[in-house]
Each structure stands twice: as structure tokens, then as C-alpha cells.
Structure 1
Amino acid sequence: MKAKIVGLLKEATTPLSGEKISQDLGVSRVSVHKHINGLRERGYSITAGSTGYTLEDEGDFLYPWEFGERDPLIHFYEEATSTMTIARDLAESDCPHMTTVVAQRQTKGRGRLNRVWDSQDGGLYFTVILRPSLPINQVYKVLFTASVSLALVVRNLTGINATVKWPNDILVGEKKLNGMLSEMATQDEFVQYVNLGIGVNVNNNPSKAEPNAVSIRDLLGQEFPRRKILTGFLDSMEERLKNKDEDVIAQWKQYTSTIGRPVRIQTTRDVLEGRAVDVNSQGSLIVELADGRLEEVFHGDCFYQSGEAQES
């Protein structure tokens, strides 16, 4: 009902009377008034005049009813310890493909290698639960698809020149716009689910916690609707996974700033330095070491070293 009322108010070009809303939705005016008050309590700027209700500002809300047909799949929290923790429980309870947990803020947001992800108001923090029906050795396709999807959504919606950094960060210039964390469960030799936890710096100020980070607001000089980023990403991911995009590595290479760069790779067991020369068909980063040997890195954290990027 809230979704329907918000939809009517957004479409209206003049104030909308309670009577008109009740007729359109087949509910009493008392019910309409109750839902309007509920929306106001959640932050909607809805004024009431002699001729009816007006939505003064659509706001930057992430409530389920703001996502149209995705409403049943969206689980919104004003505050959560970590969307990944909630998503794991949902995934284990057999929730549907594309179920998404969104939080206004996180108290224990997590990054790769057990780092803390600063999750203040204004950022976009979510975990999407995917059931891609892939063998375990092809799960890398999901991660690269997510990176490409998010980079293109940012580019197309904002005009910002976002690039992808191996394995799955989004950068603008040398500064980090997002982070991505994945967890997977398997059954036999197939993926049961992949949970992608994503934090995007949209209207927050990440540089306080991470000097080498930047937000969309910083880059545009004004706030940008987080809902547009999330909707665009979910639409892109769902379409790409449905079509089983086989060229995702090639697409990723079109938008990467990693290949040709001097890098330092940190894994759970080792640290190596060299020049990133390629990403192979399985998503591994190929690093040329100082002695000319090529090292294949399947998983790790990548840090750019000083030196200019070169074509490979």
C-alpha cells in the first residue's frame, strides 16, 4: 500500500486528495491517512493542503516499496551489523535468487581480508544473494560480471570515468569508489549460492576513514540517488546472469586500470610484486616478476605501485 501511495504521489502533477487516493486504491480515507503518516515517519516530505497531498521531495530512500516489482526481494534495515551476516542466514533458508539485503548503515561492515568497511550514512551498503547454477570452477564469472555491471552503471548514470581494478574494486583515477566481498556455498560440484557484499561511496565522506577513497558526491559536487545505483546494478546483474555472458573477461579488460601497472599482490600466504600483464580466461591475474617469470594469481588483494600504466 505504501508503494502504491508513493507511486500515485510521484505521478501526480497537482495535489492529490485523500478521497482520490482511497478511490484509486480501494481503501478507506482513514487507511490512506494512516499510511501517509507512516510514510512521513520514515522521512517522506508529504504536505497536506486544502486540495490534497503533495510529495515535496522524492528523497533518497531504500525502502522495499521504492523498487517496484523487486519489493518482495528487498530486505531493508536502518542499521545492521553486516548485510553479509543477514544474507548468509537468508541464503541458508533457501531465499530466492536476487534477494537483496540493504542497510542505511552498518556497525561491523566487512571488507576483504577481514578489514573493516566504514559504513556511515549516505553510502550504499548491500548484499545480493545469487543462485547462478554454475560449476564451482566458473564462479569467477559472477565476480567479474558484478565488477563490469557496477562500473558501467556508474559510468552511464553519472558520467564518471569509473574503471575496474583486479579483482573487483571500482576506481576513479587512483581513488577507490567501492569494495566488494563474496561468500559462496556449494553442493556437489555446483554453486549453491554466491553472496556479493558491496559498499559504494555515494553521498558519504569516506576519506575520513580511508584517505585513498572517494564518493560520487565528491566527484559530482552534489548528492546522487543511491536507489538509481542499486536498481541499475540489480537489473544489469540479473540480465547478464540470465544471458550467461561468456565475454565478461574481455569486457572487464576494456575498463580496467590494472593491466600494465606495477602491482603488489597480498594473498593469505604470500606477497609478490611485479607488473600486471594480463587476466586469463579463468579470471586469474598474470604478474610478471622482476626476473621475468610469470606468476598466476587466482585470489588476493591488489595494490598499485608507483609507475605509469603501460599497454600490454
Structure 2
Amino acid sequence: MDTALDAEALRARLVAPNGPYSALDVVESTRSTNADLAKAAVEGAADRTVLIALEQTAGQGRRGRTWSSPPGGLYVSVLFRPTDVHPQRLPWLNLIAGLALVRVAQSVGVEATLKWPNDLLLGPKREKGAGILSEITAGVAQAVVVGIGLNVAKLPDDVQPAPGGLEPTSLESAGATELDRAELAFRLLVELAQLEGVWRKNGGDAFESGVLEEYQEHCATVGERVRVELSGGVQLLGVAQRIEADGTLVVRGTDGVDHGVSAGDVVHLRPA
């Protein structure tokens, strides 16, 4: 397993004029790449600024949870400023990051699907190999930080299951043919830039850019019996029907009514 990433080499491949990004930095360890880039956004960091860490000591998850970030993983945050995209379409950046992860996992020979809205599932057992956290930067117009935590090396034994009991795994445990984090970071950022670029060129329209169709194709949640844990302790039980053009999940509840879910923890339930 590699122990360091060559920032200069990555910049030479990924930062303009040779690549799609405006800036890229690599740090050995930080509290949170998302928090660091959010601060940078307030200070005027450019669109498509990248921060990569080999370890996070206070990684952030959804709903204020901690995000387990052990050494041996790849922790990447990207600042996007899609000024020509309507704010209501910005949640698609989270789903686009998922598609980039699927492409990378498949490129190294690992079966991959997505659990809406922010988990990469690896292997036939569909265990969690990566998480995504996208955050709109407070007080900064059209600034979104997309954070990705990808498990590369085998995980320590004390890593706990994700909410809902989703077992953790890694690319190594899933039999990946490539474990060099510099190469994986390069592939991930190339795929993310390609997907985000087409989406942005189409004004954030998920249908016209093709990301809606691709997400539906790789989303393991659609067709599953699910429990959605909503704010306020409310739970929605039903069958996931589809992903809408705005990125919301449609769940047909036990009452027979379709419910649009824009945010919530989704648990895939075993078939009855």
C-alpha cells in the first residue's frame, strides 16, 4: 500500500491547462477535507478546487455524525461553483459523485452499485465501500463542497457498521486489481469532472445530461423494500419506485401512496 501521494504529479495531470481542475492540494492528515474547503470557499477559492487527505481525524457524516476515516483510505473534497445551475438542481452533485465512484470501482474489477443518496456498495453482498457528503457553503452563493471517503485498504477490525447495519468493506477486500491511491484519485477526479461538466453544460438538467438514466441504472435502492428514517423520528416504509429528475427518491408507502423523499437515511430491508 502506498504511503503518500505526489501532489505535483497529480497537479500535472489534473490541473489546468492539462486538466479540468483549478487547484489541487494533498495533505497527510486533517480534521475534515470538507470543512477545510468550505473555509477556503468563504475566502474565495476557485471553482473546481480539490483537497485530498490520506487521513481525517474528525470526518463529517450526514446529520452531524462522525465519518470514520482510517488510514489507508482516500478522502477527497471538491469545491464546485456551478453559477449557471439553478440552486434546486445542486443536490445532483451528490448523486454524480456516486456515479464517479461506481465507474472507478468497476474500472478495477469490483462490482458496484449505489444506495440512494450517498453510499457506494461493493461486491455481491453490497457492503459499504464509500460515502459521500455534499454541503452547500453557508453565505457563499452557488458554492458546493462534495466530499468523498473511499475505503481502499482493508479496514481495521474496529470499524463499526454504517447506520441501518450496513457492513463496511474496501476495494482491497472486494478484490480490486488496483490499490494505488494516486491512480485511484486520478481516475475518480477524471470521472467526476466528466460527469459534472456534462451536467453543468446542460444547466444541471439530469435528464438532458444523461446522469438520471445512469443513476437509475446503478441504483440498488430502486425496487427494494426500504425504511426511510426522516427528520423528527418519522419512518416511511415501502418500496422504492424511481429517482425523479430533481434527484428525489419516490417510495410507495404501505398506504399505497407515492412519497417523494429529498433527504433521509434509507435502509434496505430483507425481502419478506
TM-score bracket, normalised by the shorter chain, equals 0.7 to 0.9
Question: Which of 94, 99, 113 matches 1:143?
Answer: 94
SS in 1 for 2:5: coil
Offset at 1:123?
0.5
| C-alpha RMSD of matched pairs (Å) | 2.2
Match of 1:78 in 2: 28
Change (3 A) 1:247 1:222: closer
Offset at 1:186?
7.2
TM-score, normalised to structure 2, is: 0.84
Match of 1:217 in 2: 172
Offset at 1:206?
5.4
SS in 1 for 2:186: helix
Question: Which of 57, 60, 79 matches 1:129?
Answer: 79
Question: Which of 215, 223, 232 matches 1:260?
Answer: 223
Match of 2:153 in 1: 203
Is the contact between residue 206 and residue 214 of structure 1 (CA under 8 Å) also seen in structure 2?
A: no
The answer to whether structure 1 residue 240 and structure 2 residue 195 are counterparts is: yes
Change (3 A) 1:235 1:268: same
Query: For 2:217 and 2:35, how far apart are their aligned partners in 1?
Result: 33
Percent identity over paired residues: 27
Query: For 1:233 and 1:257, how far apart are their aligned partners in 2?
Result: 21
SS in 2 for 1:250: helix
Match of 1:178 in 2: 130
Q: Which of the two has greater helix per residue?
A: 1
Per-residue CA deviations over 1:51-99 (Å, capped at 9, x if unaligned) read: xxxxxxx945323113024367222222211111111111112212221
- Equivalences for 1:274-289 in 2 at 5 Å? 274-289=238-253
Match of 2:5 in 1: 62
Query: Quick one: which amino acid aligns to residue 66 of structure 1?
Result: A
Match of 1:154 in 2: 105
Query: For 1:108 and 1:204, how far apart are their aligned partners in 2?
Result: 20
Query: Quick one: which amino acid aligns to residue 80 of structure 1?
Result: T
Is the contact between residue 131 and residue 150 of structure 2 (CA under 8 Å) also seen in structure 1?
A: yes
Bigger RCO (CA 8 Å, 6+ sep): 2
Question: Which of 266, 280, 291 matches 2:255?
Answer: 291
TM-score, normalised to structure 1, is: 0.74
Is the contact between residue 130 and residue 193 of structure 1 (CA under 8 Å) also seen in structure 2?
A: yes
Q: Which has the larger radius of gyration?
A: 1
Is the contact between residue 113 and residue 126 of structure 2 (CA under 8 Å) also seen in structure 1?
A: no
Match of 1:230 in 2: 185
Question: Which of 47, 63, 66 matches 1:97?
Answer: 47
Query: For 1:221 and 1:254, how far apart are their aligned partners in 2?
Result: 22
Query: For 2:178 and 2:213, how far apart are their aligned partners in 1?
Result: 33
Query: For 2:177 and 2:218, how far apart are their aligned partners in 1?
Result: 25
Change (3 A) 1:166 1:144: same
Offset at 1:146?
1.3
Offset at 1:231?
1.0
Match of 1:305 in 2: 269
Offset at 1:139?
0.8
Query: Quick one: which amino acid aligns to residue 289 of structure 1?
Result: G
